[in-house]
Amino acid sequence: MQTTTQDSVSPSPPRRGSRRIAQGLLVLALALASLTALPRTAGAVPQQSCNWLALNEYVCVSRTGPTGWVDKLIATRAKSWSICDYHARFTITYQGRELFARNSAGHGGCMYAPRATRIIDVYRPFPRGSSVCTTWYEGLDHDTIAAACLRM
């Protein structure tokens, strides 16, 4: 009687850094998903710019609307743990002049999700080349977390 043996293959332990790569891919997927989750208006051209703070942390500003027009402004904050007592400030400037400034509604308490957003309606025209910025604030003392800007 002939017996055959099969070599058992045990899985090798994960390599160092593979978890970071997986986390990085997750963050990238979330960032791309936030682009597709933007509210759409007929003829709207979404734009987004992000300021990466760490591997799993960023602040983004997004806008919707056709060229020269802003329908909505969206501030997004991603963080691997809770995001507490937050709001965003939006500004639009052109050639050093502030044309628009508004704070979003605040969110009291903590959000235990990887991402939080603040959205405001604008529905106004702005000159081509205007800078759209958001500053994200957190905590009871309204600590500045980061800012992100894009050019229209």
Single pTM value for the model: 0.69
**Per-residue pLDDT tens for 115-145?**
999 999 999 999 999 999 999 999 888 889 9
Q: How far apart are CA 61 and CA 117, in angstroms?
A: 10
**Per-residue pLDDT tens for 51-104?**
999 888 999 999 999 989 999 999 999 998 899 999 999 999 999 999 999 999
**Structural domains of the chain ordered from first start:** 41-151 (2.60.40.10)
**Per-residue pLDDT tens for 3-22?**
444 443 333 444 545 555 54
Determine the 3-state secondary structure of 24 from DSSP.
helix
Sign of CA dihedral 92, 79, 143, 37: positive
